Each structure stands twice: as structure tokens, then as C-alpha cells.
Chain A
Amino acid sequence: MPKNEELHPVIGTMVENIEKVIVGKREVATLSIVALLARGHVLLEDVPGVGKTMLVRALAKSVSAQFKRIQFTPDLLPSDVTGVSIYNPKEGQFEYKPGPVMGNIILADEINRTSPRTQSALLEAMEEGSLTVDGVTRPLPRPFFVMATQNPIEYEGTYPLPEAQLDRFLLKLNMGYPSIQEEMDILNKTEKVVPIDQLQPVITIKDLLLLQEKVQEVYVDERVKRYIVEIVQRSRSHESIYLGVSPRGSVALMKAVQAYAFVHGRDFALPDDVQSLAPYVLAHRIILKAHAKFDGISAGHIISEIISRTPVPVQR
């Protein structure tokens, strides 16, 4: 991980802005911005109350974007997400009422609580970047960034996302609990005011879209690309992995690496970027074999192991 590397100035102010609300989660904030810039989506997996929602709201506020929240429940219907066409008697025709998905930054809370049908309505929108309701395809607003959360503890009455759908998410992150000092800071900050209400945007939507364009221009050298491919290839032949990373995973990793390099103020990617991002990009894209699961090995571990064994290209 590139330690102490200066962030891109704009990104730096964004992260600082978010940190006003979310204490001690600089890395998660940075990675969320990486996903946003890479036009990907984030799956946050953690217990309730650690600040997932707050993070998304802070991010949305920082970019003065339209924030929408969908609370997934078992009885939620696809149309509750996508919106419906209602008959307008005055005009004598059906009129489209946009659903909550028609926003810039969307928090899909507890995505695993709803039925697969409803889940796939959202996931399709994420993948296509557009929505088809009643035969009419409507483009989603730009930027379009989904941050879904799921609770890893409760399984009663949940519909876990199938692996094939998991790889629609660019990154899978964990929030984790704050440290004692951080939690003290949280208490101090929220004692008198609600910090989120005082947050001011630091970047316009237009600028954000411009940044997204710039990210695509970050140079990824052949050696770094090859490094990515080698890591992905190794995941396919690893003894503990049942299903390795798909080519979509390689693409995702490269896009994420571009954004990551940009966030760190560089216009070229490093193997370090690949190493830093691989656990977040690849871990949810592999399926472990049963024996590995029984041995208590996590996907993250295996990705780290692959990285430590893959030779880093250091020469011409």
C-alpha cells in the first residue's frame, strides 16, 4: 500500500469533508470515492450502526448529488425500486413515476432482505446504466453510484446475493468498529449538533463527471496489466478456489486501479495500486472450495496469498 502518499487535492478535500462526519474511516471513504470515480458500485458488508448510511450520505452531500435511499424489505416489489407508470385520467395516458433508483447516489440498505426479483431489478440498473419500465428504456442520471449494504450476522429471512450478481459491485468493503479514541470523537462531535446537516458540498456534479473522464486517461503500463492478469490467472488455478475471477474481474481491477492511482495524484498506475485494491476487488468474485471454507480460510486471505506469490514486475 502506498503509504503516506498525498491524495489528489480535490479528492483530499472530499475525504476531509467526509471525515467531518465519519471518524477514522479514511480508507473506506477513499475507496468509496475510488469506486465512484471508476463508475463502479460498492457493497458494504457490516453490522448495523457503524456508519454505513452516514458515509453514503456524507459522500452524497460532498458532491451535491441527489441522494436516494431504498430500505429493502422482503415485501418490496421491483416497481418500488424502478418506479411505475400510473394512468393519468386527466391526460388520458400512463405517466411514469420514477422510483428511488432514479438518483445520483443511492443507498440500498440491507439488500439481502428483499426477494431476488427486486434485487435483480436494482442490479440490472447498475449494470446497464439504464432502466426499462413498461417497455420504455430510460437512462439513469449521471453519475450513478450505488452503495448497497448487507448484514453478515442475520441470515433469518434473507436472500443472500448469488455470486454471479456479487460481481456487479466493483468493491466490497467492510466498515469495522471504531477505536476507543475514534468513538470518543464521535460522541464529542454529536453531543451538540448533527454533523451531517452542516456538511457543505465541495465539488459539483459537473466536476465529478470531469474527474471520471480523467480517471480513464490514467496510464496503465503493459507490465501492470500483465501483473493484474497474472494475479487473476492464479486465482483460477488455486487449489482452494472453486471458481476463479472472471475477465470482468480483471477489467474491474484495472478500472479501480486507474481510479486509485488518480486519487493518489498519479497519472500512471503502480503494482502497489493493484496490491492495495485486489482484496476489495477480487475477494467477492471467487468461490472457495468446501474444504477451504471448513478450514476457516477467507477469500481475502487467499487473495493476499496469491499477491504475495505473484512476482511484481520491476524490470523492463
Chain B
Amino acid sequence: MEQSRIKTFAYYLFAFWLLWEWLAPLTVVSDTKNIQVFIVFVAFYFLLELLRVPLWLSVCLKIGYLFYALNDLFFHAPFLSFQWLFMFGEEAVYHLSLIRHFQWEDMTDRFRTFLFFLMLWMMCYLVQYWLVKQKRIWLFLVMTFIYIAVLDTFTPFSGTGAIVRLVGAGFFLLSWLHYERLPAAKQPAKWLVMGAFAVGAALLCGYAGPKLAPQWPDPVAFIKSYAAEDREQDPNQFAVKKIGYGNNDSRLGGPFIADNTVVFTAEDEGTHYWRVETKDIYTGKGWDISDSVQVKTFEQENNFHQWFENSVEKKQLAAHVRMVQPASYLVYPEGLKTVHASKDIVFRMEAANEKIYPTDRESYLVPLQEYELTYEYPTFSIEKLKVSPPVTDEQILKRYTQLPDHLPKRVQELAQQITKQAATTYEKVKAIEQYFHLNGFAYETKDVAVPSRNQDYVDQFLFETKKGYCDNFSTAMIVLLRSIDIPARWVKGYTSGQWVDETDDGKDLYRVTNNNAHSWVEVYFSRIGWVPFEPTQGFNNPYEFTEAESAVESTPVPEQQQTQTAPNRTRLEEQLQQDRLSSSPQQNQERLLSIVNWKSVLSLTVSLMVLTILLYGTRRKWWPYITLLQFKYRHGGDTFVKAYDALLRHLKSCGLKRKEGQTLRQYAAYIDNWFGTNEMSQLTQLYERVIYKNEIVDQQWEEVKELWENLIKRIAS
């Protein structure tokens, strides 16, 4: 008696602990500040259950505590005055109507707390039911594991301690409950000691042992990139570094993980970068935008923002963008002229960063999935760039040559050294752009450093690490340019992506994934405008730079320019050409089909395998029912023999195997002992008559059937 009381106490202690593990992270992951009230509620609940307080009294006490806590937290009225009760009553009535209209957002904290209490009550009851009554906790424990793991992965909550506790105490609890469920005769005395020892040893080894770094790329990044758009509306909400296109660039550096998630597809007439936004303030660690509330709006046609001066040669091109997830910002090429979306949309461009938001007339964001746009595709004349006079516009100079005060001197010295030979602004820019190609800078996504506290991001890249990805190259180029007073800004967006196919109307279809997220440089030239440059190793400037015939040999820099961009363009075109030549449209289609088929076959195989594994893993649950159906309507002949044989097989698959030298009676006694019945023995006695006496059990058929079905069901449960 005494022992069973201690046991019950321990059960409740475990139940309390499990719920505590659920409540504890709330302070970190949500705005719940006061979780003590809830923890006390759980403790109070289990205490009442432990003391076996009569149901009516315990319910009264719990409700009493619930309202006391609510009053204490929110109403602050004297508890005994029952003033709060009226207040709460009114609120409850109001909230009922809210709930009816699914207006969850409008609920007050008071009512939410009340609902949370109710939910906690339910949880307490469930945990108590499973742990104390059923002595089964596996499912709940698994759920707790998942809960902690998810919180640990996606939120600032650190689940290290919780996981260790869950493994240790959780597994101990599991084995203990299993032990308790065994029939008394089968409880080996040393079970608990051995169980505790095994769990302890495993825990100690796990805790003390060396831990490998993650061997696979973090899948979380993949998931988070999906969520990126949602956060677009509130850029300050999270400071989590993301893969693909992200907002927050105030701290650059660190590794970068490949992510093939498709962001959008585009049917396009030209190749160019897809812009999302620009940034102008370099902080020494990353990029910020200057504070500006200026917003320019347009409806289909962009009639206020002139991208290039009139002197720039342009041609009108069109593109059709299809986002995978509706996005609350526009991806657009430089030179954007018109945007057509199916809805009535007002486009708002923030002057500070040239980010364009689609909104309705009340300025609410309207995420767009699909839109068509036209743009002026520029062709830059190197001639004109060269003769572009130094920038004199004070505003532009001030804003786009900003540098942090603590930028190391050597950056500027390097810039001066690189551009020593160059005469014009254009030549200087090209020299800096080329600098990275010629001085052993490497493209690297994994082993990329984060600057330490007192280190400058660009300085570290230029002089120490010399490896990085687009952010490193573009930022470094801009800082170098700015240090010699050439206005430049940082642009973020996507490259033109992967060419997929040619559409019927002669456009090229591109697929743009998170891997195509990119950042590059725009340099301001007087009388021309913002000209894109590409310092990153392995990337090519998609824009066209033309040169007057006569100037080909005049300066070395343009020549480099030409060798850099032109072959790359042709390379791409050649490849496309080759693809088109090597296969007729039909072949092309077949090839595509074969790719599709291969993929679908693969996915089919994988899902089949998963299904098979799942079915195999759960076969003990469903297979007996198949057998049940199989013999349900059969009668006579060999049915009994076959059914009994099937029963033996099911028992065997449950781990209750008959030894070779074991007679059926001995085995039946063993099974009955295991299940705590005598059904197997009864059935076996009937079976013996069939098998050892060649008797036909016709009269007892119903009995046979019932016994057999009961046993099969026992196996399945």
C-alpha cells in the first residue's frame, strides 16, 4: 500500500515535470512573461488528483484558482468583491461573438489567458490519464521531443537542457511504465536498476562524448526561406540570417548554404539582373538604408522614375514574372517602365531603397503572384562612360560616398593604388572591378568569415580572407570606390537564373531559385545614370557595353571589358544555340518528357519505398485485421487449421515465438500468461482435437471463431 502511494506520487511528479517542460519555453518564444501562474496551476491540479479530492470539490478549487489568477493578473479587483466576475462575464459574452466570427486577433489577453487555462486543464487531464491510468506515455513523450526540437531549431529557445532531461527521465519513465504494465509474474526484480543504469550510462556517454559538427546542410534554412516573405511586412521582427533573398544585411559574413527552392520563373526577352532593393549606408559590418519616408507611387506606368539619362541607348523589352509564393515586393529589371497585374494595384516605390511594393488603394500590401512588365534595356557606350564628367551632384555624392569613420586607412590606400594608372572614372571603376579577378580572390560559400567586433567586413575580406561570395565582392568594390569618392550603391536581387526553355512567342523561360540570390554594384555616372558592375568571381555582367570601332585598341581596360563580357554572353548564347540545333523541337520535348518521367519515377519509387517501410513498420497493427477479414466468412474444411496457423504466425511476429520443442499446450499457457487470459488454451484444446484426433469441430465452431478473433485483436492492440 505504502509502496503504491509512493509510486503514484512519482507518477504525478513525472506528469508535472512533462508539462513543465512544455510551459518553460513560453517565456522565450512568446510574449508570455508570467508562466508561474500556469505552473502553479499544473502543480495544483496534480496535487488535488494525488490527494484524491472528490471531483466536485476539485473542480471548484481549480475554477477558484483559475479566476483568482485571472483577477490577480488583469482585473486587480478585490477577489471577494466579485466585481471581476461581472467584468469577466461581459468580456466572455463579447468574446463568444468574436469566436463565432473567427476574429482571433481581436481577443484580449485576459480572455486568451482564460482559454489557455482551459487548454492547460485539458492537457493535465490527458497527461494524467495516459501516465497514471494507462501507464503509457510514449506518444506524449515523442510529442514533447518534437516540440522542444522545433522550438530549439526555429526560435531563440535553447533546448539543450530540456533534451538531456527528456532523454534521461523520459526513457527511465518509459521503461518503468513498461515494467508496471507487465503481469506481476513477469516483473524481473532487477529491471528498474538495469533500466536506470542503461539510461544513465547512455546519457553520460552522450553528454561526455565528442560531438560531430552537423554533417548535412541545415534543412531549416530551406524552410525559413519560404517564410521570408511573411516577414517582409515587418522587417524588424526577426534578426535571423537567411539563405536566398533576405532583408537584413546589417551583419554580413558567415557561410552560405545552397538552396534550390524556386522563387519565381520569368519569360523574358533579355538577360539582366532582377532587382529588389538597393542599400546605401555601409556600417563596417553590413548594409543599412538611410531613413527616408519618401514614397513614389505609380499605377501601371512608371512615370516619375527615370532610370537612365536620355543619352543612353535603350530598347523596349517585356517580361512575364510568375512567383512561386505571392510576394509583397516586386522583382524588376533596372529600367522598369510598366507593370501589369491582374488586380487593381498601386505600386509604391520607397525612395530610400528603390524597393517597390504592390498595394491596394488603402496602402495595404497585396502580395502578387504574377505580373507582366516592360522595361528599357540599356546598352552602355563605353565611349560615353569614359567621357562622363566627375559627379558634382552634392546630394548623390554625400549619400553614396558615405563610409564609416573607423574604416581602416589601408582600404583607401589600396583603392588609390589600384586606380593609379586610370585616368577616367570609368577606368577607375573597371580597374577596381578587375582587381578581384587578377589578385587571387576566390568564390567561396562555406568557409566564409564573420568579422570580429573590431574588424571591418571589407577590410577583413580584402586583406585577410580573400574569399567570399557576392556580398563580399560587391561590398568591397563599393567601399573601394567610395574611398576614392566615386558614388556607388549596393543592389540586391537575383541573377537572370537558369534558362529552361524557349516559349512559343520567342521569349526565354528562366527559373530563378534561392541560389540565384545575388548582390552587385551600381556606380553613378553623370549624364548616364546608375550603371551595374559585377566584381564577383564567376559572375558576369549581363548588361551590354558597346565600344566605338576606333577605340578598340586605344585603352587596355575596355578591351578587358570586352573579353570579359562578350565571350560570356556568347557562351550562353552558344549553348542555347547548340541546344536548339542539336535537337528538333520534338526531340526536345521528348528529352523534357524523359526528364519529367525520370523525376516522377524517382519520386514514385521514393514514396513507394517510404510507404512500404511505413507499412512494414506498422504491420503488427494492420496485418491481424487483414487476417481477421480473411477468415471471417470462411467455414469448415481446413479453415480452422489455417486460421490457427495464421494466429501462430502473428504471435511469432509479436515476438512470442513458439520454440521448436514446445507443445501447443505449453505454448498456449505461455501466451495466456502473457495476455492474462485463458483464451489461447481453450482454442488450443479444440485445435488439438482437430490435429491429433482428426476430429471436425463443427459444433464448437462459434466458440472457435470467437476465441480466435479475440486473440487476433489482442495481438493487434
Contact check: which of B662, B664, B692 meets A221 at CB < 8 Å?
Answer: B692
> Which one of A2, A221, A309, A312 has the greatest number of beta carbons of chain B within 10 Å?
A312
A272 within 8 A of partner (CB)? yes
Contact check: which of A267, A271, A315 meets B663 at CB < 8 Å?
Answer: A271
B134 within 8 A of partner (CB)? no
Closest CB-CB distance, A262 to chain B, in whole Å? 14
Contact check: which of A3, A308, A310, A312 meets B669 at CB < 8 Å?
Answer: A3
**With known contacts A314-B691, A316-B691, A275–B663 Cβ distance under 8 A:** yes
A312 to B661, CA, bound (A): 6
Note all chain B residues with C-beta closer than 8 A to A271: 663-664, 692
A310 to B659, CA, bound (A): 10
Interface residues of A in 1-60 (CB under 8 A from B): 2-3
Q: What interface size band does chain A fall in?
A: 20 to 34
Contact check: which of B658, B663, B691, B693 meets A272 at CB < 8 Å?
Answer: B663
**With known contacts A3-B669, A315-B641, A316-B638, A308–B661 Cβ distance under 8 A:** yes
- The answer on a CB contact under 8 Å between A312 and B693 is no
Contact check: which of B641, B660, B691, B692 meets A311 at CB < 8 Å?
Answer: B660
A311 to B658, CA, bound (A): 10
Note all chain A residues with C-beta closer than 8 A to B662: 312
- The answer on a CB contact under 8 Å between A269 and B692 is yes
Closest CB-CB distance, A302 to chain B, in whole Å? 14
Closest CB-CB distance, A215 to chain B, in whole Å? 16
Note all chain A residues with C-beta closer than 8 A to B661: 307-312
- The answer on a CB contact under 8 Å between A221 and B694 is yes
A275 to B692, CA, bound (A): 15
A3 to B693, CA, bound (A): 20
Q: Which residue of A lies closest to B662 (CB)?
A: A312
A316 to B643, CA, bound (A): 13
A50 to B591, CA, bound (A): 95
A270 within 8 A of partner (CB)? yes
Interface residues of A in 289-316 (CB under 8 A from B): 307-316
Q: Which residue of A lies closest to B692 (CB)?
A: A221
Note all chain B residues with C-beta closer than 8 A to A309: 660-661
Note all chain A residues with C-beta closer than 8 A to B91: none
Interface residues of B in 617-676 (CB under 8 A from A): 638, 641, 645, 648, 658-666, 669
A223 within 8 A of partner (CB)? yes
Note all chain B residues with C-beta closer than 8 A to A268: 689, 692-693
A275 to B667, CA, bound (A): 14
- The answer on a CB contact under 8 Å between A270 and B694 is no
A219 to B692, CA, bound (A): 9
A309 to B660, CA, bound (A): 7
- Indicate with 1 or 0, residue by residue over B672-701, a CB within 8 angstroms of chain A CB atoms: 000000000000000011011110000000
Closest CB-CB distance, B176 to chain A, in whole Å? 32
Apart from A2-B665, A3-B669, A270-B665, what are 5 other A-B pairs with CB-CB below 8 Å?
A: A219-B693, A221-B691, A224-B692, A308-B659, A310-B660
Interface residues of A in 209-257 (CB under 8 A from B): 219, 221, 223-224
Closest CB-CB distance, B450 to chain A, in whole Å? 69
A to B CB contacts below 8 Å, 29 in the list: A2-B665, A219-B693, A221-B691, A221-B692, A221-B693, A221-B694, A223-B692, A224-B692, A268-B692, A269-B692, A270-B665, A270-B692, A271-B692, A272-B665, A272-B666, A308-B659, A308-B661, A309-B661, A310-B661, A311-B660, A311-B661, A312-B660, A312-B663, A312-B664, A314-B648, A314-B658, A315-B641, A316-B638, A316-B641
User: A residues engaging B (CB < 8 A)?
Assistant: 2-3, 219, 221, 223-224, 267-272, 275, 307-316
Q: Which residue of B lies closest to A309 (CB)?
A: B661
- The answer on a CB contact under 8 Å between A314 and B664 is yes
Q: Which residue of B lies closest to A315 (CB)?
A: B645
Note all chain B residues with C-beta closer than 8 A to A307: 661
**With known contacts A3-B669, A315-B641, A223–B663 Cβ distance under 8 A:** no
A116 to B693, CA, bound (A): 45
- The answer on a CB contact under 8 Å between A270 and B645 is no
A308 to B659, CA, bound (A): 8
> Which one of B658, B688, B689, B691 has the greatest number of beta carbons of chain A within 10 Å?
B691
Q: Which residue of B lies closest to A2 (CB)?
A: B665
Interface residues of B in 95-152 (CB under 8 A from A): none
Closest CB-CB distance, B632 to chain A, in whole Å? 22
Closest CB-CB distance, A57 to chain B, in whole Å? 34
A269 to B691, CA, bound (A): 11
Q: Which residue of A lies closest to B661 (CB)?
A: A308
Closest CB-CB distance, B281 to chain A, in whole Å? 85
> Top 7 nearest A-B pairs by Cβ distance?
A268-B693, A308-B661, A272-B663, A311-B660, A271-B663, A221-B692, A312-B663
Q: Which residue of B lies closest to A311 (CB)?
A: B660
A108 to B666, CA, bound (A): 37
Q: Which residue of B lies closest to A261 (CB)?
A: B692
Note all chain A residues with C-beta closer than 8 A to B659: 308
A93 to B270, CA, bound (A): 144
A223 to B692, CA, bound (A): 7
Note all chain B residues with C-beta closer than 8 A to A314: 648, 658, 663-664, 691
Note all chain B residues with C-beta closer than 8 A to A308: 659-661
Closest CB-CB distance, A254 to chain B, in whole Å? 14
> Which one of B663, B664, B691 has the greatest number of beta carbons of chain A within 10 Å?
B663
Closest CB-CB distance, A67 to chain B, in whole Å? 37
Q: Which residue of B lies closest to A220 (CB)?
A: B692
A310 to B663, CA, bound (A): 11
